[in-house]
Structure 1
Amino acid sequence: MTDAYRTLREAGPHDAETIIAIPTFRRPALLRRLLEALRSQEGLEGAALLIADNDAAGQQGAAVAAEMARDFPVPIEILLVPQPGLCHVRNALVAQALGHRAMQRLVMIDDDEWPQPGWLAALLAMQARTGAAVVGGPVDPCFAGAAPDWAEQTLIFRPEERSEGRTTLLYAGNNLLVSAEALEALEAPWFDPAFDRSGGEDLDFLTRIEALGLGFAWAPRARVNEWVGPERARRGWVLRRMWRIGVTDTMVARKAKPGLGGRVGLGIRAVGLLGMRTAALPALAWARRRRLDIAGQWVKAVARLYAIAGGSDAIYAAPAPVTARTP
């Protein structure tokens, strides 16, 4: 593995205008499926792959990438990121991509996803058409077995749908094109390590891009599939995810509006939302097709108040404090 890694680094994507960035951690089979799907994508001309393995000890993802690089249609560059945490991996990808002078755009996709036909071409076409700094697309859940009959009740498993073209703030970074200009304007660290243990780093990243006055666009045909294993296809997991969203959304808002005034304003809004969500709870008795959504929205509202009070959601490991600074 050492020799292959060194060789790939020397043959890195120095002339690529589009770099597809993939963070990976102990998912070699899923990464292989992603790379196989990328192999046949339209729009690969002038593109290259940049894969960051966050398991410096096992290097399973790096090994898969090195194997497939031998006959892949575009260059593959591999990074080993020993410091654990998704923010560290994402920052390593951005820093490495910006080191390639020809790079004009970074395309982000996770290792538990794989693109549908036309994905990359749709992202590139939308950016060319709108000039937006950031372009996103839908993410379709793909369950290990049959989708639970309650899956459509929750926004967690409903692909986001927007009108094609220019749009408002996007929320997630798992199917995203970002211009080099936007990344250079943000400066490092692009993904705040304060969110390393809780998630929400992508929303913070996009919120800061919006604050710079840069635009967003939506490409409905730039669709990817996301693997949903049995451990996630449970109501309990969905409610836990809604709690996390409530916490991390509020952490991002607190960072954007620091100080007592910002906290009071967020608190008033959170109390109002909780009141509205609580008033909807009696509908659980008869709205069978909306029960999980009603319960999830109430959990999310409670989580907002928890975060305003200073709580953080250490879903990945020990919590890290959120600072008011903008990297």
Structure 2
Amino acid sequence: MTEDRSSLDSVVIGVCTYQRVSQLGVLLAELQRQILACSDWNVRIIVADNDEKMTAKSAVEKASKDFPRVRIEYNCVPEKGVGFARNAIFDSLKSDELLIFFDDDQEPCPTWLAALLNRHLSVPDEVLVGPVIPVLPDSVPQWAVEAAAWGRREQPDGSIRSHAGFGNILIPRSTLESGLCRVPEPFLRGPGEDTYITVALRSAGYVIRYVDAARAVEPVANERLNIPWLRQRATVSAETWVQVVRFTGGSKVRLVASAIKTLFGFCILKMQRNISRDQALLMKLEVSAGRLVGYWRGFGSWLHS
């Protein structure tokens, strides 16, 4: 990055956090190291603590002492819900700043920030999203790993996404000025606030581009290493997707078709499971069942609203 500093955007890295003090401390130290390596850029960090007890404040204070050259700001957002924390960060932006969101339970790869900012230089008006790779402990059986139950599908570098999460995303100034980067009432307490905004942006014609080099990893917590958690996650994801389609004016026909496809897949898995005791099949069956429950709840909420 050799362009003149004055010609480049200023950057905010926004981190929403809730009671993950040790993980936040590790993340802030790595972010600060990468910011110092990207000295051509004006970068500051904003931590939005969604805990009224201000548990993240100590981690922010320590990070500020350890890396005094990196600007870091602490903002306590006591109203429960990740959407409130997102909006607090949106409200803290200056007119010349672009925004990068990063989750408190993720870890950026060593060249993550440089990769994201370098791509921004070539496509300054596009939203950029990097992959988040789940890291599973060695104790997870191989059949579970092969079932890809905790995985996120990776994309070809430069491909266009229909929506994205906020765990590893760059939102340029032109997009921030669109008026669409605000979490509305139905999504303030989450989940789905990020999906809602990115679907709304794509519907308005904004480009969301996948940047393979801007990689992050996410260690999977022990409490998530079980089939009931996976099923519940599938339920919440499907229910949330129905709400996103509802509030962004998406196609009901496509949504119903997706639900029918899920039902058909569930029936196939059920027949296979009756023949085979394969554990991977059981995992896929439970996840599929969770999605069906989510669709049912989502449609029910929509019909009765």
Q: With structure 2 as the length reference, what TM-score do the two structures score?
A: 0.86
Separation (CA, whole Å) in 2 of partners of 1:108 and 1:127? 14
Decide which of 44, 49, 66 is 1:48's aligned counterpart: 44
Q: Is the contact between residue 162 and residue 199 of structure 2 (CA under 8 Å) also seen in structure 1?
A: yes
1:308 is matched with which residue?
A: 299
1:125 is matched with which residue?
A: 118
The reply to whether residue 273 of structure 1 matches residue 262 of structure 2 is: yes
1:215 is matched with which residue?
A: 207
Change (3 A) 1:311 1:237: farther
2:151 is matched with which residue?
A: 158
Structure 1 residue identity aligned to 2:81: G
Q: Deviations over 1:260-289 (max 9, x none)?
A: xx5466335423431333233222343544
Decide which of 13, 31, 46 is 1:38's aligned counterpart: 31
Q: Is the contact between residue 130 and residue 166 of structure 1 (CA under 8 Å) also seen in structure 2?
A: no
Decide which of 56, 65, 77 is 1:81's aligned counterpart: 77
The structural deviation recorded for 1:307 is 0.9
The reply to whether residue 231 of structure 1 matches residue 206 of structure 2 is: no
1:176 is matched with which residue?
A: 169
Q: With structure 1 as the length reference, what TM-score do the two structures score?
A: 0.80
2:5 is matched with which residue?
A: none
Change (3 A) 1:242 1:187: closer
Structure 1 residue identity aligned to 2:226: R
Structure 1 residue identity aligned to 2:269: A
Q: Deviations over 1:130-149 (max 9, x none)?
A: 34521111112234664443
Separation (CA, whole Å) in 2 of partners of 1:306 and 1:55? 29
Aligned-partner SS, 2:107:
strand
Decide which of 133, 156, 167 is 1:140's aligned counterpart: 133
Structure 2: 5+ residue stretches without partners: 1-7
2:160 is matched with which residue?
A: 167
1:4 is matched with which residue?
A: none
Separation (CA, whole Å) in 2 of partners of 1:227 and 1:219? 21
Decide which of 248, 262, 272 is 1:283's aligned counterpart: 272
Aligned-partner SS, 1:21:
strand
Across the two proteins, how many residue pairs are aligned to each other?
A: 292
2:286 is matched with which residue?
A: 295
Superposed structure 1 runs of 4+ greater than 4 Å apart: 153-156, 262-265
Give the share of equivalent positions with the same residue, in percent. 24
Structure 1: 5+ residue stretches without partners: 1-14, 313-320, 323-327
The reply to whether residue 62 of structure 1 matches residue 57 of structure 2 is: yes
The reply to whether residue 20 of structure 1 matches residue 13 of structure 2 is: yes
1:250 is matched with which residue?
A: 242
What is the correspondence of 1:258-269 to structure 2 with a 5 Å cutoff?
263=252, 266-269=255-258
Separation (CA, whole Å) in 1 of partners of 2:233 and 2:57? 29
Change (3 A) 1:154 1:187: same
